[in-house]
Amino acid sequence: MTQTATETVPEQDAPGRTRWGVFLAILAVPTLVVAALLALLIAWLFTDDSVDTGVRKVSCAEAFAYGGAKAPTGVRDLACTLEAGQGFRYEARFLMRSAEVSAWVAANYPDGPALHNVQCEGTDVYACMSRGPAAGRSGSVQIEAAQDSSKWSEVRYKAFTP
């Protein structure tokens, strides 16, 4: 009796066969990363950045009235904002003829103080004034005038709750 030995050969993959599962898993990771980055970019483009600052544009009459003043006439580039945090902080920036700045301050604050040129902050500031809250007013005032050109000054007016 002759016995034939049968040898079992383990099943082998045919040459050139691709393992699609591994290939798709490797391809899915960068695809998901790119999709997430695109979603973040689109979300960033459609968000309103001014929401986080707490600063909004207001009428200049409101800003000057908070500090007990009237808006100047004959000025250029007048822009006013309000920053509401723990208190109110109104700010107005404008260009005014340099010769008229002192007269405007004196007309709005006849009981003083007047503009002065000592102890002013900033190297470009040539005149400034600080005033605490006046009777019946809740706002303190700071005014700074900086030379913009030979005839014009940039005036920064701030009225705020101390």
Residue 138: band (very low, low, confident or very high) from pLDDT cuts 50, 70, 90: low
Which tokens is 38 given? Answer: 């695109």
Residue 134: band (very low, low, confident or very high) from pLDDT cuts 50, 70, 90: low
pLDDT in the model for residue 7: 64
CA distance 117 to 64: 22
In this structure, what DSSP letter does residue 116 have? B
Least confident of 1-15, 50-64, 96-110: 1-15
Q: What is the DSSP string of 31-74?
A: HHHHHHHHHHHHHHHTS-THHHH-EEE--HHHHHHHTT----SS
Count Cα neighbours of 54 within 13 Å in the Cβ-side half-sphere.
Answer: 8
Q: What is the DSSP string of 5-38?
A: PPPPPPP-PPTT---HHHHHHHHHHHHHHHHHHH
CA distance 153 to 73: 14
Least confident of 10-19, 86-95, 126-135: 10-19
Query: Span 105-115, mean pLDDT?
Result: 89
Tell me the pLDDT tens digit for each residue of 26-57.
888 889 999 999 999 888 887 765 555 678 89
Could you tell me which residues are beta bridge partners of residue 89? 83, 160
Using alpha carbons, select from 87, 88, 94, 92 the residue that is nearest to residue 57: 92
Query: Span 113-138, mean pLDDT?
Result: 82
Tell me the pLDDT tens digit for each residue of 72-88.
988 999 999 999 777 88
What is the reported pTM? 0.65
In this structure, what DSSP letter does residue 142 have? E
